[in-house]
Structure 1
Amino acid sequence: MNVLTEWTTLACRELGIDPSAVDRDALLDLTKEVAHGVTRPAAPLTAYLLGLAQGAGTAPSDAVERLTGLARDWERRAGGETA
């Protein structure tokens, strides 16, 4: 078992989350897009916001898709300014 899988399993157990409900690859792809397209500190913040959205009832796949699009289009939306 690799470290990431082991960590995910242990963290899910600690939080009472079914590990099969976590799309690790989608989350990692999202945070990569945010880190490279917006700014690195925005990646963990975005992951947290995604969790809040899911807790509020937003479908995870929909939220990931929307946030990925936002990150990819960040420079245009932000007027070319980056943080």
Structure 2
Amino acid sequence: MKSQDETLEEWCRLLLRAFELEDVDVDINEVLSVAGVAAHSVVRPAAPLTTFIAGLATGLKCAAGQAPDGHAMQGAMDVARAVAKAYAADEAQAAPGTPAAGTAGTSAPTGTPGE
């Protein structure tokens, strides 16, 4: 029987092949880490939404020639992690009975992702 890590590695390779992205290196642990931060900082369903949007941002940056795959992916993961943590901090500071400061649209941190 395969371990969870082996299954995820195999699944990742199959998905990459299906999308003709075999040359893309995916750091599965980093993706899962960001998903975990989103799930615990926002709500559980934020995990797949966050990783999808980070992947979309990565693809758009790469397609526009703004960054190579690895740099764009790490930058997107860094932004997603920072926004999720900022959201949690805003929620923690919100007074009971009032809308939380971060719910209307937490913005990305300033500066270049990954710095």
Check whether TM > 0.5: yes
Correspondent of 2:84 among 62, 71, 81: 71
Q: Tell me how far apart the structure 2 counterparts of residues 17 and 33 of structure 1 sit (CA, whole Å).
A: 26
TM-score, structure 1 normalization: 0.83
| Aligned residues between the structures | 83
> Radius of gyration: which is bigger?
2
- Provide the alpha-carbon RMSD of the alignment: 2.3
Letter in 2 for 1:21: D
Percent pairwise identity: 30
Distance in 2 of aligned mates of 1:19 and 1:29: 22
Residues 6-51 of structure 1: CA deviation (Å, up to 9, x unaligned): 1111111111112652111111100000001111111101111011
Kindly indicate whether the alpha-carbon contact (under 8 Å) linking 1:31 and 1:47 is maintained by their aligned counterparts in 2: yes
4+ residue stretches of structure 1 with deviation over 6 A? none
* 2:59 pairs with 1:46: no
Greater CA deviation, 65-74 or 33-42? 65-74
Distance 1:67 1:27 in 2: 10
Cα gap change, 1:43 to 1:19, in 2 (>3 Å): farther
Gaps of 5+ in 2: 62-66, 95-99, 104-115
TM-score under structure 2 normalisation?
Answer: 0.62
Structure with the higher fraction of residues in helix conformation = 1
Q: Matches of residues 23-38 of structure 1 in structure 2 within 5 Å? A: 23-38=27-42
In 2: Cα distance, 1:77 partner to 1:18 partner: 39
Instruction: Please tell me whether the aligned partners of residues 9 and 19 of structure 1 are also in contact (alpha carbons under 8 angstroms).
Output: no
2:44 counterpart SS class: coil
